[in-house]
């Protein structure tokens, strides 16, 4: 009898494996890493504003962060293996701990001028406290990167700010002193296009990311590109970012509408403060987010509500990071609701109703408690308008009705003397025009008549401002002006 191997699972498998999922995340992050290098390193260097150290600083931060994750995770496992005498294989560590992913995400969150020792400290804290204390890869409750980031930003925020914050040499030379989120929070969210967007030139800069902020978190378009890539490869819980960003968008739109601001305001709100990056790459992290579809939707909505609260009610710069960090402690609750909701429609609907009510209330509450007229309006200097010397108005000498025409005789003058125009009108339009008397030289008169300028005036009577007068002939411009004024008066009859 032939013997066979035993396999308790299914005998065919879907292709995608965990390591492929992580690879997809890395590929999606790659444009952001490159962008961080270009924006913070290459551009200032090319303009001759920074040295060779600053050129490679972005990459250095990423390198140090990944190195910190590697050392701490490897060290932890190595020491534990020594103490507990557990088997330890380096290949397994290399292939299955994915230490580099939180390292890269952490580095992209930091401001450019974060001292390297703080980056290292942060990535060590991220790995040891955020990951290993919970039992390693796959068991952590909170996103390790957020633990490290929030830890350093809260304790050493002032150190980072004093060493230059997020402003690259190029941004300093452009005169930036605040990041968009700082600027928004400084005015409690009150402002308008000139105060929010104009300092960074135009909206497009937010889309491509040429504004100060986290190392690699500012580019909305590259975040979205990564998002699309992850969706196409089925490597992301797409519901979380969609509903997270969507909720912030909707509430911001309501607030903006109360302040009389347009759609640009909600677009602006979702592109600042690292929201795009946080929603797409951090909030959707599989380990620290709900597994059930409805749980994911509710999680996204709640994150959006929390972030708005952190922006408008308790203004905190780390709003996005804190919302995700706080809420990931309650992932189990979202999963309970989500798993029940699969069987029972009412269980699914109730939280949605609550969520929508929250969104509505929050939008109305913040919207109405804010002043409807934006306070800090940048006053525009009034443009100097060249005032033309007023010309003497024409006189209507006579008017008579000769059915179906109404004939006017109009007197006006040039520098050489008066002239009279006879105007036939029919139903608010000029149907015929003749120069009955004038004080010009015979030459001018002949030139004027032979140019058929009067005919042109009749043809273009409705838009005479576009008709050019005959060069070097005062009579033509005078007649044109007269008829223009007359025509306007005629319309009012």
Partner 1 sequence: MFFTKIPSLKKATEKKKIKIAQRPNYVYIPLINQNDENITRLVKKGDYIYKGQSVGRRKGNLRIPIPSSVSGTVVGFEEHTYLNGKKVKCVVIENDFKEKTERRLGVKKDLTKFTKEEFIERLQEMGIVGMGGTGFPTYVKYNTNKKIHTLIINAVECEPYITADFALLKEHVEEILEAIDAVMEICHIDETLIAVKKENTELIELLSNFVGTYLKMKIAPVSNRYPSGWEKGLVYQLKRVSYQVTSVERGIIVSNVSTMYAIYEALKYHAPLTERVVTFTGEMLKDPQNIQVKIGTKVSELIETIGGYHKGDDLYFVAGGPMMGKSLPDDDLVVSANLNCVLVLPKQKEQEATTCIRCGKCVEHCPAKLSPVLIARAKGDVKKLQKLQADRCIECGLCSYICPARINVREKVVEAKKLLEESSE
Q: Determine contact, residues 209/18, Cβ cutoff 8 Å.
A: no
Return the number of the residue (96 or 485) whose C-beta is nearest partner 1: 96
Query: Is 338 a residue that touches partner 1 (CB under 8 A)?
Result: yes
75-114 positions binding partner 1, by CB under 8 A: 96
How far is residue 178's CA from residue 175's CA, in Å, rounded to a whole number? 9
- Whether the CA torsion 46, 48, 51, 54 is positive or negative: it is negative
Site string for partner 1, 122-161 (x = CB under 8 A): --------------xxxx----------------------
Return the number of the residue (9 or 450) whose C-beta is nearest partner 1: 9
417-426 vs 405-414, strand pairing mode: antiparallel
Return the number of the residue (50 or 296) whose C-beta is nearest partner 1: 296
How far is residue 468's CA from residue 486's CA, in Å, rounded to a whole number? 18
Determine the size of the site formed for partner 1 (CB under 8 A): 40
Tokens at 369, concatenated: 């408690």
Q: Minimum Å distance from CB 335 to partner 1?
A: 6
Q: Minimum Å distance from CB 116 to partner 1?
A: 30
Alpha carbon of residue 413 to chain centroid: 59
Pick from 114, 289, 307, 444 the residue near partner 1 by CB under 8 A: 289
Return the number of the residue (289 or 425) whose C-beta is nearest partner 1: 289
Buried b (16+ CB within 10 A) or exposed e, 48-87: eebeeebbebbbbbbbbbbbbbbebbbebbeeeeeeeeee
Q: Determine contact, residues 367/257, Cβ cutoff 8 Å.
A: yes
Q: Which stretch binds partner 1 (CB under 8 A): 50-58, 144-152, 337-345, 417-425?
A: 337-345
Q: Minimum Å distance from CB 290 to partner 1?
A: 7
Pick from 326, 340, 352, 445 the residue near partner 1 by CB under 8 A: 340
Pick from 6, 387, 390, 403 the residue near partner 1 by CB under 8 A: 6
Query: Is 342 a residue that touches partner 1 (CB under 8 A)?
Result: yes
Q: Minimum Å distance from CB 3 to partner 1?
A: 6
Tokens at 481, concatenated: 């002006």
Q: Minimum Å distance from CB 340 to partner 1?
A: 7
How far is residue 456's CA from residue 483's CA, in Å, rounded to a whole number? 12
Query: Is 339 a residue that touches partner 1 (CB under 8 A)?
Result: yes
Q: Determine contact, residues 203/264, Cβ cutoff 8 Å.
A: yes
How far is residue 41's CA from residue 7's CA, in Å, rounded to a whole number? 53
How far is residue 375's CA from residue 192's CA, in Å, rounded to a whole number? 9
Pick from 127, 292, 307, 482 the residue near partner 1 by CB under 8 A: 292
Tokens at 203, concatenated: 């909206």
In order, the DSSP letters of 19-69 are HHHHHHHHHHHHHHHHHHHIIIIIHHHHTT-S-HHHHHHHHHHHHHHHHHH
Query: Is 11 a residue that touches partner 1 (CB under 8 A)?
Result: yes
Site string for partner 1, 267-286 (x = CB under 8 A): -------------------x
Return the number of the residue (6 or 52) whose C-beta is nearest partner 1: 6
Pick from 53, 314, 343, 345 the residue near partner 1 by CB under 8 A: 343
Q: How deeply is 460 buried, as exposed, middle or buried, from its count of CB atoms within 10 A (0-12, 13-18, 19+)? A: middle
Site string for partner 1, 184-223 (x = CB under 8 A): ----------------------------------------
Pick from 26, 133, 221, 287 the residue near partner 1 by CB under 8 A: 287
Q: How far apart are the first and last CA of the chain?
A: 112
Q: Which stretch binds partner 1 (CB under 8 A): 55-63, 83-91, 334-342, 379-387?
A: 334-342
Return the number of the residue (45 or 137) whose C-beta is nearest partner 1: 137
Q: Determine contact, residues 412/394, Cβ cutoff 8 Å.
A: yes
Query: Is 10 a residue that touches partner 1 (CB under 8 A)?
Result: yes
Pick from 3, 84, 85, 463 the residue near partner 1 by CB under 8 A: 3
Contacts of 292 (CB under 8 A, 6+ apart): 334, 335, 337, 338, 339, 341, 342
Q: Minimum Å distance from CB 275 to partner 1?
A: 23
Give the residues lining the site for partner 1 (CB under 8 A).
1-14, 16-18, 20-21, 96, 136-139, 237, 286-287, 289-293, 296, 335-336, 338-340, 342-343
């Amino acid at each position: 009898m032939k013997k066979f191997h035993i396999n308790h699972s299914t005998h065919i498998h879907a292709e995608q494996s965990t390591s492929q999922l992580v690879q997809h995340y890395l590929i999606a992050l790659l444009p952001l890493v490159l962008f961080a290098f270009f924006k913070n390193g290459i551009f200032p260097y090319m303009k001759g504003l920074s040295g060779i150290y600053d050129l490679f600083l972005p990459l250095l931060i990423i390198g140090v962060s990944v190195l910190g994750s590697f050392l701490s995770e490897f060290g932890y496992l190595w020491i534990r293996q020594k103490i507990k005498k557990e088997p330890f294989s380096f290949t397994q560590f290399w292939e299955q701990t994915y230490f580099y992913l939180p390292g890269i995400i952490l580095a992209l969150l930091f401001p450019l001028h974060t001292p390297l020792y703080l980056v290292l400290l942060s990535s060590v804290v991220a790995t040891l406290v955020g990951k290993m204390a919970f039992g390693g890869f796959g068991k952590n409750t909170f996103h390790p990167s957020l633990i490290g980031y929030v830890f350093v930003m809260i304790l050493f925020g002032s150190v980072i700010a004093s060493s230059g914050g997020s402003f690259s040499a190029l941004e300093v030379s452009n005169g930036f002193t605040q990041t968009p989120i700082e600027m928004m929070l400084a005015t409690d969210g009150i402002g308008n296009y000139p105060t929010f967007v104009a300092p960074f030139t135009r909206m497009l800069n937010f889309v491509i990311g040429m504004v100060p902020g986290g190392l690699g978190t500012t580019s909305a378009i590259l975040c979205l590109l990564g998002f699309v890539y992850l969706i196409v490869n089925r490597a992301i819980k797409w519901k979380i970012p969609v509903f997270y960003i969507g909720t912030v968008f909707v509430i911001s739109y309501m607030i903006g509408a109360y302040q009389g601001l347009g759609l640009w305001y909600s677009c602006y709100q979702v592109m600042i403060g690292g929201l795009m990056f946080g929603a797409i790459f951090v909030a959707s992290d599989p380990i620290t987010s709900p597994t059930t579809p409805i749980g994911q939707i509710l999680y996204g909505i709640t994150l959006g509500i929390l972030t708005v609260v952190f922006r408008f009610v308790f203004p905190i710069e780390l709003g996005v990071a804190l919302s995700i960090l706080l809420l990931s402690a309650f992932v189990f609750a979202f999963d309970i609701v989500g798993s029940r909701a699969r069987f029972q429609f009412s269980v699914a609907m109730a939280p949605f109703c609550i969520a929508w009510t929250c969104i509505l209330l929050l939008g109305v509450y913040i919207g109405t408690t804010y002043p409807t007229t934006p306070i800090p309006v940048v006053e525009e200097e009034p443009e100097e308008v060249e005032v033309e010397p007023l010309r003497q108005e024409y006189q209507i000498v006579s008017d008579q009705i000769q059915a179906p025409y109404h004939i006017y005789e109009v007197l006006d003058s040039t520098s050489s003397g008066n002239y009279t125009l006879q105007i036939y009108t029919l139903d608010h339009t000029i149907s015929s025009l003749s120069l009955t008397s004038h004080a010009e030289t015979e030459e001018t008169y002949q030139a004027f008549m032979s140019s058929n300028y009067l005919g042109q005036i009749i043809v273009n009577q409705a838009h005479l401002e576009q008709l050019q007068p005959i060069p070097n002939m005062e009579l033509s411009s005078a007649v044109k002006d007269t008829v223009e004024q007359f025509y306007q008066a005629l319309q009012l009859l």
